[in-house]
Structure 1
C-alpha cells in the first residue's frame, strides 16, 4: 500500500468518527406553518390541489425543508461538528462541493399554526469515491422535524465534497444523461422501454397527471392506474437552446412543452423540423428514439398541415 493510499484511508476513518454527531440541536423554524408561504409555494409549483386551501388546509408535504430553512441570516445554535468535518476535507484538498440528492419521509401533515423544531445529525460519511468531478466523500445529513414531541418528517441531504480532478479523462463517446429513476416514476420508464407512453390517472376523480407523482394533485387521492397516451399532441410552448453546449447534444435545438390529447403536458424534443421552424400550435406525433444500447426516450415528430383536394391533411415533416 502506498503512502498516499494510507493517508487517504486514515482520512476516511477520521471523517467517519463524526457519524452520529449533531449538526443542530432543537433548532426552531423561523415562521410557524402559515397560509401565505403555502400559497406562494403552490403558485410556484402550479399545484392547485384544494387540500392546501381553506379552513382544513394542510401544507404540501414537499415543503418540509422550507419550514426549517434559516434564510439569509441563518440559524443560531449549529454545532461545531459539521464545520470541523468540512475543515478536515478542505485541508485534504477536497475544496469543492456539489449537492447530489435528497430524500424526504412524511409521517403526518403540517397545518397552519404548527411550530416546527428540528434536530440535525451527520448520518454517514462514505468510503473514498472517485467520480468524473474528482475524488472525495459523500456526506449525508439527516434532519428530524417535529411539532411538539411528534416526529412529522425526516429530510436527508447528501453532498459530495471532493478534490477536483486535475487531468481530463480520456475522450469517450458522448452519451445522453441518464434519467433519474426512482420508486415513484419507475413504471413510466418501464413503459418507455416498451415504446409505450404511460400516463397516471387518479381512480377517484379520473384526473390525468404528469410527471408521475405518489398522489393526485387535484383531489389528493393516493389511488391510481395508467392509460397509454395516443401520441397525438401540439407544441404548447418551446425554447431554442444555443448555450451552454454539451457533448451529447448539438445546439441549436428546440426543447418543447408538448400538450397531449389526454390533457397532460410533457417536455421533449421536436424532431423532423429545423429548430427555427418550430412554432406554438405545431401538431406533433409521439415516437421513441434510441440514443445508445441503454437509453430510449420519447420524442415528437413534427407534422405539417397541408391542403389537398379542398380538405386538410397532415404529413410527416423530414428535416432537410
Structure 2
C-alpha cells in the first residue's frame, strides 16, 4: 500500500458485539445462594473432573456400607444392634478424612489463586462469602453423616421394629450429627483457611481432629483406672468429638462413649453445650477476621 493511499483511507470502527447488560440485578442474596450451591456441589466433586469425585464418593460409600449391613442384621434379628447417636462416633475417622480433604478444597484454592478479591468486588461481601462457605461445608458433612442414619431408620421400619421408638432415636441421631457437622465444619475451615497450600491444609485438619481426641482419650482412660470419674467427664471438653459425645449424652439420651460410660452431669452437659456453641461462634469470628485480611 502506498503512503498516499494509507493516509487517505478513512478510519474503520469494528463492532465486535459487546453491549451493556440491561437485565435484572439479582443482588447479594442470589450471589450468596449461588456460592453456597457451588461450594456444596464441589464438596462431592459435582461439576468438577471425574478425579475430584473419587475420594468424596468413596468416603460417602464407606459411611453408608456399615449402615446397610446393620440394617440387614436388624431385619434378621429384629433388633437394632447400634444406637443412632453412636454411629458417627464409631466412624469419626471417615468423617475426619472427608473434612480434611474437602475443607482445603473449599477455601485454599481461592486463597492460593487470589480469587477472593474477585468475589468481594460486587455485589458479594465478606459476610456472604464466609456464611456461604460455612453453610456449604456443614451441609456436606450433614449429608455424609445423616444418610447412614436414614438407612438405619428405613431398615428398622422394614424390619417392623417399634416405629415410634425408632423415630425418636432417629430424630436424636439427626440432632447429634447436625451439631457435629456445624462444629467440625467451623474447625476444618478455620484450619484450612490458614494456608493456601492444600496439602498443608489436609495435614493440619487431620492433626486438629486426631491429636486432641487421642490425648483426651488416653488421659480419660488413666483417670478412669484411678477411679476419678469426675475428671473423665470434664476432660471431654478438650476434643471436638468428645464434646459432641458429652452434649448428646446430656440432652439427647445417648449412651456415653467415655470410659465406664462416665458422661458429664446435667450441669456439666450445659457447660459442654456452651463450649460447643462457643467453638462454633469462635470459628465464624476467626473466618471473618481471616478474610478481612486477604479479601481486599
- For the superposition of Structure 1 and Structure 2, which TM-score range results when normalised by the shorter chain? under 0.3
Q: Which structure has more helix as a fraction of its residues? A: 2
Q: Which structure has more strand as a fraction of its residues? A: 1
